[in-house]
Amino acid sequence: MKPTTRTPAIATLQIDNERVRVTEWRFAPGTETGWHVHPTDYVVVPMTTGELVLETREGVVVNELTAGVSYTRVAGNEHNVVNAADTEFVFVEIELK
């Protein structure tokens, strides 16, 4: 994992109970999540349309996301999500416990 000097995206916890954790992520241009590993399976619901950069140990991937078109990932993925665009990007992340 590579350290960065980017500003963190804003994470707002909406729900955290015995079954799920729901977080709204707001990415101003140039912000990031920071490197992390998901301990559980999760679902992402984009609230805006655009591109996010996914930095992984295998390299960099640019993901085109569409508002309202959800996707899911399994636990264990190490990555850093970056908004390299000139506009804000928002998604809701639902972690399944």
Task: Compute the distance between CA of residue 77 and CA of residue 79 in angstroms, rounded to an integer.
Answer: 6
User: How confident is the model over 33-81, as pLDDT tens digits?
Assistant: 999 999 999 999 999 999 999 999 999 999 999 999 999 999 998 999 9
- Residue-level pLDDT at 5: 73
**62-67 contacts at long range (C-beta below 8 A, 24 or more positions apart):** 65/89, 65/91
**How far from 72 is each of 19, 80, 95, CA to CA, in Å?**
16, 16, 10
Confidence (pTM): 0.93
Residue 48 lies in a domain: yes
Residue 84 pLDDT level (bands cut at 50, 70, 90): very high
Of 3-7, 13-17, 30-34, the least confident: 3-7
The total domain count for the chain is 1
Is residue 5 domain-resident? no
Q: Is residue 47 part of a domain?
A: yes
Which structural domain range is residue 25 located in? 10-96
Please classify residue 17 by burial: count the beta carbons closer than 10 Å to its beta carbon, then call 0-12 exposed, 13-18 middle and 19+ buried.
exposed
Give pLDDT, residue 4: 65
CATH number for position 72: 2.60.120.10
| Within-domain flag for 33 | yes
